[in-house]
Chains A and B, each alone.
Chain A
């Protein structure tokens, strides 16, 4: 039963990723602009262009090019970046930890902030406090992540410069870590200088990404909490002497979290998509920032590698959401 589920899951993942590969491969080649003309100086002869085109294989037919690329991908060879002259997988995996740390930090902030506001809103339901919180979350939701980024830069980078507005870590720090997870490895190694530096760099972009999601979680979770708080088992808990806060936290929260979780899963993938612009804004050395450079330079192998990795990341997140569903809902276990 479980084995079958895993098998089906892996199969659909493989099909999805293949589809993504086909689409991105075709799109970057059909789109105007080509990498060869970007690499040659003005005044290059027809022969120069032809030679370079042949060198990178762009003279072959599209299906042929695709077969060569996908054949390499299956063997773990994602090609070489045209502009950076390094293997794509090394480049991409080197940047992935930065983006993962940023996204996870943003997710944690969104869950904590959104959860807190939802619980307070449910606790103070049908009062002015709830109305005030609704208005606030509505306003927060209507401002997109990159605009939050600009607002934060203005507030904590310019007016009251307490946070770093550019980069991922203080370049003066000596970091000889085995992974590129500076924040997590710093925590494990007890390198508090690295932790605090990455945190100070990460906080503003993470907040920018987190706020819209936090507002969404706050609204939906509060709504779900209010529904659950009308259920008979919460009434029974009140009769048994539990305070409203304790009823919310002990009886209602887990039940209300279930429908909220589906949204968080979907929205988290949007959040990761949002890293592309926000990383750019804060010159944060992550995948998104690299993606923009790759697109500007028409670095086709690199674009393909990044998109594939994002796609793989999304399927993993979907899987994790499904797993947490079974964890939170006993009715789905051994069902």
Chain B
């Protein structure tokens, strides 16, 4: 907002650390142009969700940013006071969570859960918030929105709740959405629909999306850029087409090879070779040694 030409998101040499000094993210750099979808892929523990949490300021207690910069729409988040940072993040960003079953407050009705942030944080009138909510519920194919707005979460299905959470995320017209494995908790038939809705809404609104996933099949469908992570390090960063057609890093090739295809039943499953994992761990070790030397010259 303060800089029209700024990238939606710019992460520079981000290091996220446990209290004991162990690094969960190691010099991660990536950026997101307005309207771009970037997939963050990697196995469990690769740090892909941690990037989203760091950007949104919701790192778990004890885990903190030890080095590096996060620029949201050109604003240095580190330079802000906690309260201003919270407001800045809320004004520009939103989160589509992983598990729709736990992401809605069980004792509150759906309606206020969507409209509250719009009226109380974004300062909209009640009527405007309600109109926008209805519009988006309609957009994510929820019939009789009035009944849904008056429901409690337990009265709705998982797919319906995820569509509501997508509507809630897009409602304040954010510039950045972090989608944290938004289809993982859903069954396969619903996954496709959810993915399509996110892509459609993203294209209509020109919102930048950080799409966290471990599913290379999803990556191919939704993103323009891909960041491959291993052990909190960026292994490869390239346009999606290049990742699939011409993967540079052996780990990326192994990930793609490990993705089940429709022919999976006749092809044997090919896990990432242990030798490659060992090689990656050696690289991380060397990197950590350099990092600790840098920290105490």
Contact = CB atoms under 8 A, between A and B. Distances in A.
B86 A238 contact: yes
A134 interface: no
B211 to A, nearest CB: 16
Contacts of B102: 231-233
B97 interface: yes
A126 interface: yes
A4 interface: no
A242 B119 CA distance: 12
Contact of A233 (B83, B86, B103): B103
Interface in A253-288: 254-255
A241 B90 contact: yes
A274 B295 CA distance: 61
A233 B108 CA distance: 11
B20 to A, nearest CB: 15
B106 A330 contact: yes
A331 B107 CA distance: 8
A233 B105 CA distance: 6
B170 to A, nearest CB: 13
Interface in A3-30: none
Contacts of B117: 237, 240-242
Contact of B107 (A235, A241, A329): A329
A238 B154 contact: no
B247 interface: no
Nearest to A234: B105
Q: In the complex, which of the residues B62, B93, B116 has the most CB atoms of chain A within 10 Å of its own CB atom?
A: B116
A236 interface: yes
Interface string B80-123: 00010011011101110111001111111000000011001100
A233 B87 contact: no
Contacts of A331: 106, 152, 154
A242 B117 CA distance: 8
A126 B121 CA distance: 27
A185 interface: no
Contacts of A233: 102-106
Contacts of A232: 97-99, 102-103
Contacts of A243: 83, 86
A238 B94 CA distance: 10
A328 interface: yes
B145 interface: no
A236 B103 contact: yes
Contacts of A240: 90, 94, 116-117, 121
A188 interface: no
B68 interface: no
A1 interface: no
A254 B112 CA distance: 15
B94 A239 contact: yes
B263 to A, nearest CB: 36
B103 A241 contact: no
B34 interface: no
Given A232-B97, A239-B94, A241-B89, A255 B105 contact: yes
A255 B98 CA distance: 21
Interface residues of A, number: 22
A251 interface: yes
Contacts of B108: 251, 254
Contacts of B95: 235-236, 239
B103 A255 contact: no
A254 B106 CA distance: 10
B234 to A, nearest CB: 24
A298 to B, nearest CB: 52
Contacts of A238: 57-58, 86
A126 B107 CA distance: 27
Nearest to B101: A232
B212 interface: no
A307 B202 CA distance: 69
A86 to B, nearest CB: 49
Q: In the complex, which of the residues A125, A240, A242, A251 has the most CB atoms of chain B within 10 Å of its own CB atom?
A: A240
B61 interface: yes
Contacts of B61: 125-126
A241 B87 contact: yes
B56 interface: yes
Nearest to A329: B107
Nearest to A233: B105
B56 to A, nearest CB: 5
Contacts of B91: 241
Contacts of B90: 239-241
B121 A255 contact: no
Contact of A328 (B83, B104, B107, B154): B107
A333 to B, nearest CB: 9
B226 to A, nearest CB: 24
A233 B161 CA distance: 12
B99 A255 contact: no
A64 to B, nearest CB: 55
B51 to A, nearest CB: 14
A239 B89 contact: yes
Interface string A315-335: 000000000000011110000
Given A233-B106, A241-B89, A255-B105, 6 more contacts: A126-B61, A235-B95, A239-B90, A241-B90, A251-B105, A251-B108
28 contacts: A125-B61, A126-B62, A231-B102, A232-B99, A235-B58, A236-B97, A236-B103, A238-B57, A238-B86, A239-B58, A239-B89, A239-B90, A239-B93, A239-B94, A239-B95, A240-B117, A240-B121, A241-B91, A250-B116, A251-B105, A254-B107, A254-B108, A255-B105, A255-B107, A329-B107, A331-B106, A331-B152, A331-B154
- A-B pairs with the 3 shortest C-beta distances? A241-B90, A240-B117, A241-B121
